[in-house]
Chains A and B, each alone.
Chain A
Amino acid sequence: MRHPSAEPVAPDHVVRPRRSWRDPRTRALASQAAVVAAVCAIVVMVAMQTAANLRARDIASGFDYLGRAAGFEIAQGGLSYSSRDTYARALEAGLVNTLRVAAIGIAVASALGLLVGIARLSPIWIVSATSNVYVEVLRNTPLLLQLLFWYSLSQALPRPHDALNPLPGVFLSGRGLFLPRLVWHGGWLQFGRVALERPELAGFGFRGGTSISPEFAALLVGLSTYTSAFIGEIVRGGILAVDRGQTEAAAALGLSRLRILRLVVLPQALPVIVPPTTSQFLNLAKNSSLAVAIGYPDVISITNTTLNQTGQAIEAIAIAMVLYLAISLAISFPMNLWGGAVARAGGRERGGC
């Protein structure tokens, strides 16, 4: 503003002045270009130096190792995998495991968080006090410690031969939860038969049925309760941000407390709740990498093993970083869209938090 002459208000017939350093836009452009160039230069230099160092130390580089047989087994997962498969396949199996625990964890944490957030505002003392304790305990202890706690708790369960058997075909032991599963006999477009396959004690453990491993259960419980404490606080803050008059007005209309919450309070609280909750979802996905401490074969666990067997640390860690970046973006993109939508629906111009 101190240089009004530099402002581009020149009328059409006047020749546009040459770009000068006095023009703030030119300076802004130049400074941005310089920053980009500097960052690029640093990246290129680091890459060149790294490549030179690797060559100097005779360390193999490149991504060829992904096609080689991994040779190690992976315990559990949604993806069929054997030790004859490649490192790439092993990493895929790890990715599926990470996605599985992150997806279920996000769903559970959201539901728990919503409940806890609402419960903390409950006029019933015992409810608000309980949720208060829940939040403070979970929020103020390290997640790694909680995971180890849940895991050791799962290990306090009886051995397979003395497994708890609360329902027919359901067994709970230190080896995990074993459940019956439905099996389809017969092919497509034929009259098939659905049968119930029950797990049975055979040899060292249970065979048949489906199961949830203690590692997965401990990780899921740890991640979702820890994150739900934070989400609960966000929900509470969001509800408190809604003007009290709204609740009073709805009450004057004769709406029940549940309907006030559902129809009036929560829709207006969402624009405040969604953006910080996105961060919590991202935290949950990234915190799932602590799985390595309790032996759940996630991306980091597979990456560590791969790195150690092949010695290609830079490549393995770069891949893991790209995978986590992709997971995070896949979470934040729809969440941002949703955040924008609820902000507009809530009558605000932008996501404004």
Chain B
Amino acid sequence: MSKDLSKLMPKCWNQDSKPHLFCPGCGHGITLKQLGYAIDELKIEDKLTLGIDIGCSLLVWNFFKFDTIQTHHGRTTPTMVGYKIAKPNRIALAYMGDGGGYAIGLQSLLHAAFRNNPITVILVNNENYAMTGGQMAPTTENKVITSTSPNGKQIEFGPGFKGPELVKNIANKNAFITRTSVSQPEVLKSMIKKALINQIEDEAFSFIEVLSICPTNWKTNAAESFKRLSEMEKYYPLGEIK
């Protein structure tokens, strides 16, 4: 790796797999960059294992230099819980989208929080099922148009799903639960660092929801994407929840 290139991206990114497989302007790229910098700054690259879900998050399979586990859909949290039980000295990180975390995998997430398993869960919320073509998800807000709600999401499908607020109610007192956004990369990085330190030092559950953008399925350009993200931030309040 040349000296100039190393300044463009985190050291733990796998240079050979770039340009990565995400769409132009994807919020996953911004999240993973801050995750990479957080890992670089904590110097935990050789101690960390990443579990990834099905959905757009599976495109992380060759993203980093460290080991990655591809799990079944919605089963990233229990797989990483099992991994952590078998190898307590390693750091277990679960990375998923809102479909895997809140739709199919919600019970796993709730029980991991309830048991206070010492893992870190990063959930990227872009309000739709992006890999399959932008269908309506639990996190889609009311009146938002998706490919399966052409007239806007109706009230009978429920409002946007607030995950961290739900997980907070049953989580242990040491758990760290927060919601952050790709519009604030430095805050995102500090939250990821805090969550990883929470796992290493307090041996407690930590959960970060990252509000993200999806220009391909929202059919927006850069300015419109961040405008919609700022509207999302009004419905999903940012900040440390527990």
Real binding pair: no
Chain A residues engaging chain B, CB cutoff 8 angstroms: none
